[in-house]
Amino acid sequence: MTSWHSSYQRHLSLSAHMLFLVCSLLILMVLFALLRLLLLLYNMDLAAGMGLSDWQHAFITGLRFDLRVIAIICLPLVLGTLLPVTNNARRFYCVWLTLWSSLSVFLGLLELDFYREFHQRLNNLVFQYLKEDPATVMSMLWHGFPVLRYLVGWLVLTLLVFSLFRWIDRRTRFYCEKPTPQRARGLATRLMAFACVFLVDLALARGTFRSGPPLRWGDAFQGESLFANQLALNGVFTLSQAAIQHFSHSGEHAWVGLMPDAEAITLARDMLLTRDDQLIDAETAVIRRITQPPAAGMMPGVRNVVIILMESFAGRFVGALGGPEDITPNFDTLVGEGVLFTRFFSNGTHTHQGMFATMACFPNLPGYEYLMQQPEGAHQFSGLPRLLSARGYRDVYVYNGDFAWDNQFGFFRNQGMTTFIGRDDFIDPVFIDTTWGVSDQDVFDRALEELASMPEDRPFYALVQTLSNHTPYALPDPLPVSSVTGHDEQNEHLTAMRYSDWALGRFFRSARTYPWFNQTLFVIVGDHGFSSPLQLTDIDLLRFYVPMLMIAPGIQVQFGRERATVGTQVDVVPTIMGRFGEPQQHQCWGRDLLSLPSSAPGVGVIKPSGGSQMAAIVEGDLALVLTPGFGSRLYRYHLGSHPQAVAIQNQTVEETMQVQLEAYIQSATQALQNNTAGSGVLNP
């Protein structure tokens, strides 16, 4: 038998090559199946409630996605059936197959914690993190995940796979006396073999024998279990599709052209405009209007505004919303003096989406979910900075970390904010972690200093962004709160959430001693939720479920303790502005929730991160999840201490909500592309 390093002149027989091809395909099939099994075992808590049909769907449909990837990997071997294969070619095949197997193993190991964190297979987020500050990203990975263990496992598995391909190579070396193309019969045999193998490979690469498009991402979302649907996908496949979309921008227009523009604009206006709105510039802007808040909703004592955007403050674990145990005792106490919105959702699943939705009142859109870093983010939106700076307000933005992350400085500076306090502006903080910055208690202490130093001749607004409740959860030692136990891999996250809640309560106890406290409207809102074993709907609704609490003197007497009206972060700005009772010109893609009847169902549009075209509309206790080209699914959901969601059939409601969702996203997307999403000229 010819050694690996000897001269390669002899030709392997066609049967030897075909056997090597089949064995390689089987090895790759087993490899991807094992990676899927590993992902399942690592996230086994998500498999609760999966029935037999879910298991079958996950692994049978998963095999189809695996074969799509394997068919591409094996393409050089398919082409090799045309020509005599030498030992040199075999060496190339072994290296080629090992490289792809090694990459697949690396991505499979990466995906273990990626899925646990985001409840999604590998997607556009990978490329987004590669664009961020490398030092911060590497620090987050190093301190938050078992990097060394994964690297060792990757190396061992790569060597194992290489050895396996070499073993198959040695066992399938059958030589022919002469190159078969020298014989007409041999050439015909090779052509026939190539035609058959190529057709099989083409069918595998399509993943289906049906006419039309090949097997696609949405084909995995056929069952009731979100985890089973995601498990059916292949991480290499989803990442490659995300790369195509990311670098070609091919997904940006999937929600445009679904209906005539005039129809979409009319529907969007019907969703957003109220009797307090007077539409202006109707020919050039979708919802540019002048809003005259009702006098009954005015709060004369309110002069200042403080928005506190709480990192990963998931409504699922807030006690006042029915969350388990005692994770948020301070927030729960504050509920006693404010208005709590019990059906409030983030517009996205990442902080930067919560930032621009909350402050610029513009939604998270497919193709523009990284708006703060995209050219369209340079537009001037009619958010809180624009509306209040035109009225002479001073401002301050206090943040634990670096404002270069997510282009926060550039975005908010362009929107009209002027004063930024970031991680490099803290002197002798109580605690600073190596990844993100100072602790939440440092942020709140500095916020108090900044607010106390504001001149009394002008009102102010402030944005305070917390960060301690973010992986790798670096917290002060000793902790001022007890650690959370009994929640397995969520213990660290919930402990960080309890610490953030403690820092919030400490801030309010101190703020009450300042004269400006009783003149200030405080808005406490989560930037997004986080993953939990319970997954509601195809879009994982609990990742969007956050608390929104508004506190001001007399607000509970005026508006009650709770509101069940559905709202999202784009409703924050109009709800704040409605308390001043003054007319304002704006183009917010939300509404004043406190001017709506308390029984109003409310409506909100939400979208997950990661480049997916999936989006949802939530109205009352109904949620419709839609992905263009793959249809929709309607759910009736319930939050509180025992959240649940059940798929229901109601064609009339489903069609109505789908048209609303499509009209909203299409109109907002075109307003952004045409640079007509701003408020126009603002009068001080």
Q: 34-43, 130-139, 356-365, 654-663 — which is least confidently predicted?
A: 130-139
Q: How far apart are CA 128 and CA 111, in angstroms?
A: 16
pLDDT for the residue 1: 44
Exposed/middle/buried for 504, CB within 10 Å: 0-12, 13-18, 19+? Answer: buried
More confident residue, 325 or 271: 271
Task: Summarize the confidence of residues 616-627 as an average pLDDT.
Answer: 96
Task: Summarize the confidence of residues 228-233 as an average pLDDT.
Answer: 94
Residues 6+ apart with CB under 8 A from 512: none
Q: What are phi and psi of 281, to 5 degrees?
A: 50, 40
pLDDT for the residue 355: 96
By percentage, how much of the chain surpasses pLDDT 90? 73
Q: How far apart are CA 490 and CA 498, in angstroms?
A: 12
Mean residue pLDDT of the chain comes to: 91
Q: How far apart are CA 529 and CA 323, in angstroms?
A: 13
Indicate the pLDDT class of residue 434, thresholds 50, 70 and 90.
confident
Answer yes or no: are the C-beta atoms of 293 and 581 closer than 8 Å.
yes
Helical spans, DSSP H, in 315-474:
329-334, 351-360, 384-389, 408-415, 440-452
| Number of CB atoms found within 10 A of residue 166's CB | 15
Q: How far apart are CA 490 and CA 492, in angstroms?
A: 6
Q: Each residue of 83-109: pLDDT tens digit?
A: 877 778 899 999 999 999 999 999 999
Answer yes or no: are the C-beta atoms of 214 and 205 closer than 8 Å.
yes
Answer yes or no: are the C-beta atoms of 331 and 318 closer than 8 Å.
yes
Question: In this structure, which amino acid lies at residue 506?
Answer: R
Q: What are phi and psi of 421, to 5 degrees?
A: -120, 110
In the block, tokens 């692994």 appear at 59
pLDDT for the residue 621: 97
- Give the chain's count of helices (H) and strands (E): 21, 20
Q: What is the C-alpha R_g of the chain?
A: 28
pLDDT for the residue 6: 44
Indicate the pLDDT class of residue 663, thresholds 50, 70 and 90.
very high
Task: Choose from 91-105, 191-205, 426-440 the range with maximum mean pLDDT.
Answer: 91-105
pLDDT for the residue 8: 43
Question: In this structure, which amino acid lies at residue 321?
Answer: L
pTM: 0.90
Q: How far apart are CA 235 and CA 232, in angstroms?
A: 10
For residue 447, pLDDT beyond 90: yes
Task: Summarize the confidence of residues 602-624 as an average pLDDT.
Answer: 94
Identify which of 163, 164, 154 has the alpha carbon closest to the alpha carbon of residue 23: 164
Question: CA dist 7 to 4, 10, 556, Å?
Answer: 9, 9, 86
Supply 175's token pair.
Answer: 């030589």
For residue 528, pLDDT beyond 70: yes
DSSP bridge pairs for 615: 626
Phi-psi region of 359 (alpha: psi -120 to 50; beta: other; left: phi over 0): alpha
Strand pairing class (548-551; 344-345):
unpaired
Question: CA dist 257 to 382, 568, 667, Å?
Answer: 26, 25, 10
Task: Summarize the confidence of residues 298-323 as an average pLDDT.
Answer: 96
Helical spans, DSSP H, in 211-302:
226-231, 235-248, 261-272
In the block, tokens 């007497």 appear at 557
For residue 677, pLDDT beyond 70: yes
pLDDT for the residue 73: 97
Residues 6+ apart with CB under 8 A from 674: none
For residue 262, pLDDT beyond 60: yes
Task: Summarize the confidence of residues 419-438 as an average pLDDT.
Answer: 92
Question: CA dist 484 to 102, 132, 149, 327, 479, Å?
Answer: 38, 31, 26, 8, 12
Q: 126-135, 141-150, 190-199, 250-259 — which is least confidently predicted?
A: 250-259
pLDDT for the residue 131: 81
Indicate the pLDDT class of residue 592, thresholds 50, 70 and 90.
very high
The per-residue b/e assignment along 27-42, b for 16 or more CB within 10 angstroms, e otherwise, is bbeebbeebbebbbeb
pLDDT for the residue 485: 92
Strand pairing class (520-526; 304-310):
parallel
For residue 197, pLDDT beyond 70: yes
Q: Where are the beta strands (DSSP E) in 482-588?
A: 520-526, 548-551, 562-563, 567-568, 584-586
In the block, tokens 């879009």 appear at 539
Question: Can the peptide bond before residue 472 be classed as cis, meaning omega within 30 degrees of 0?
Answer: yes
Q: How far apart are CA 573 and CA 179, in angstroms?
A: 76
For residue 683, pLDDT beyond 70: no
Q: Each residue of 530-558: pLDDT tens digit?
A: 988 888 998 999 999 999 999 999 999 99
pLDDT for the residue 3: 47
Q: 181-195, 231-245, 565-579, 604-618 — which is least confidently predicted?
A: 181-195
Sheet holding 304-310, edge to edge: 420-421, 394-399, 460-465, 304-310, 520-526, 548-551, 338-341, 562-563
